[in-house]
Structures are given as structure tokens and as C-alpha cells.
């Protein structure tokens, strides 16, 4: 079993739709959590951190459930420019980042 | 800041040849990470350094792979001899502290093709 598992996708949604991605992690000692975005043939870039209380950044909402070892990302009013692969990332206390395989989102006109 | 700089952007080589990938981290960043990305295995951590010292190389696939960081501004990942299954995108990333809540800054990657 992989340390970090994500919805396999792909997700194909129309503009304006709301879409949610899920991620589970197996290491209960994990300390911090992130969502990264990766565009085709580009490097991953940080989208947002994920806090225990949940957090929003514009149209993006991230949530963490430590008891269930589960992270989610919600995108509201999706735009064409949101099309990308979204990577769930989990850090251990040793500072090691483990990436999920990513979920691909395509937003269509 | 110029960001993390990797070279070359693309490398095409023949099986059995030595390949050297290069990385310059962001100035002031104490941690440097080498990742490999493939369709089959996703993004895998190969090795990371703290203050030029290798901390965890458990992700290095085999003895053909080696990494060095001779100073704070330069690291290399070497594959000798290279094999077709080494074909992948290799990313270098750096961060300031390596603490759990520290984000990674990635370079643009090196697309390696071993024929």
C-alpha cells in the first residue's frame, strides 16, 4: 500500500463546476500536509497548506481529518486555468515529503 | 531570486553512458532534495541533503545512482551506467529548514531519455 493515496481521476468537469479531490495517508506520525499543483511538463508548485481547522484560499478549500488520516481539496466555480494535476503531499517530522500520484483535472468550456 | 536551477533541461543518451544532472538550490536554503517522476511510479524522493550532508538516501534505486553536494550552491545526481528504465523527469527542490511545515521549491526538471 502506498503511503499517500489519491483519487485516480481523471476528473473532467465543465466551467463553473465544483469538484473535490480526496487523499489518504498511512503514516499516523505525519506532521503537515499540502496540496501542490503541477501543470503539464512543469514542476510542482505549492497550492496551499492544509490545517487541522480547515482553510480557504479564494475558490479553494482544504480540509484535514487526522482521525481518519484523510485530506481533501474542494475547488468551487472551476476555471479553465484550473486544469492541472493536483498532488497531495504529506510531511513527516523528519521533514521528508511524500507525494501522492496526483489527480488530473480537466475543466472544459 | 532565480529559483532552483537545473541543467540540462533535456538529456538524451544511450544505454551504458554516464549521465550527470546538476542543481543549484535557492541561496540560503539548507535542504536539497532530488526527486524522480515517472508515469508508473509518480514522484519519488531519491535522496536529500541538509547543509551539504546526505540525510536519507533510501530512495536511491541502486548503486548506479550517486549524488553529491560539494557546497551549499551545487549538487549533482549521477547515473553510471544508465539504463532505459532510468528515463524519467528528475527534479531538484530546496527548502529553508526541512521542518514538516516547510514548502518545497522545485526546479524545472531534467527530462532524461536513455535509449
Average pLDDT over residues A77-105: 90
Q: Tell me what pLDDT residue A36 has.
A: 96
Residue A91 pLDDT grade (very low, low, confident, very high; cuts 50, 70, 90) = confident
A-B contacts (CB, under 8 Å): 53
Strand partners, A17: none
For B8-109, strand residue ranges (E) read 10-13, 19-24, 31-38, 42-50, 53-56, 65-71, 74-79, 88-95, 105-106
Q: pLDDT tens digit string along B20-78? A: 999 999 999 999 999 999 988 889 999 999 999 999 899 998 899 999 999 999 999 99
User: How many other CB atoms are found less than 10 A from the CB of residue A34?
Assistant: 23
DSSP character string of chain A: --SEEE----EEEETT--EEEEEEE--TT--EEEEEEE-TTS--EEEEEE-TT-EEETTEEEEEETTTTEEEEEE-S--GGG-EEEEEEEE-TT--EEE---EEEEEE-
**Best CA proximity match to B72, nearest among B96, B108, B90:** B96
Residue A9 pLDDT grade (very low, low, confident, very high; cuts 50, 70, 90) = confident
Q: Residues A74-92, buried b or exposed e (16+ Cβ, 10 A)?
A: ebeebeeebbbbbbbbbbb
| CA distance, residue B18 to nearest chain A CA (Å) | 24
Q: pLDDT tens digit string along A41-82? A: 899 999 999 988 889 999 999 999 999 999 999 999 999 999
User: How many other CB atoms are found less than 10 A from the CB of residue A54?
Assistant: 13
Q: Tell me what pLDDT residue B100 has.
A: 59
pLDDT > 90 fraction of chain A, expressed in percent and rounded: 77
Note whether B45 contacts A: Cβ–Cβ < 8 A: yes
| CA distance, residue A84 to nearest chain B CA (Å) | 15
Q: Tell me what pLDDT residue A95 has.
A: 66
A101: nearest CB among B42, B95, B107: B42
| Chain B residues closer than 8 Å to A104 by CB | none
Interface of A with B (CB under 8 A): 30-32, 34, 42-46, 49, 87, 91-102
Amino acid at each position: 500500500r502506498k503511503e499517500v493515496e489519491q483519487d485516480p481521476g481523471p476528473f473532467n468537469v465543465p466551467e463553473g463546476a465544483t469538484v473535490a479531490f480526496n487523499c489518504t495517508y498511512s503514516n499516523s506520525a505525519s506532521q503537515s500536509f499540502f496540496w501542490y499543483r503541477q501543470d503539464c511538463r512543469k514542476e510542482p508548485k505549492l497550492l496551499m497548506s492544509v490545517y487541522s481547522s480547515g482553510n480557504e484560499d479564494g475558490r479553494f478549500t482544504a480540509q484535514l481529518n487526522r482521525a481518519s488520516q484523510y485530506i481533501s481539496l474542494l475547488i468551487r466555480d472551476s476555471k479553465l486555468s484550473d486544469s492541472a494535476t493536483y498532488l497531495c503531499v504529506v510531511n513527516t517530522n523528519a521533514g521528508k515529503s511524500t507525494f501522492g500520484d496526483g489527480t488530473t483535472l480537466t475543466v472544459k468550456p | 531570486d532565480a529559483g532552483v536551477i537545473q541543467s540540462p533541461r533535456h538529456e538524451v543518451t544511450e544505454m551504458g553512458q554516464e549521465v550527470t544532472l546538476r542543481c543549484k538550490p535557492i541561496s540560503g536554503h539548507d535542504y536539497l532534495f532530488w526527486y524522480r517522476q515517472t508515469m508508473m511510479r509518480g514522484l519519488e524522493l531519491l535522496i536529500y541533503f541538509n547543509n551539504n550532508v546526505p540525510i536519507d538516501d533510501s530512495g536511491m534505486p541502486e548503486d548506479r545512482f550517486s549524488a553529491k553536494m560539494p557546497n551549499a550552491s551545487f549538487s549533482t545526481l549521477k547515473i553510471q551506467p544508465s539504463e532505459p528504465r532510468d528515463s524519467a523527469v528528475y527534479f531538484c527542490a530546496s527548502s529553508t529548514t526541512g521542518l514538516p511545515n516547510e514548502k518545497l521549491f522545485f526546479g524545472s526538471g531534467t527530462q532524461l531519455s536513455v535509449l
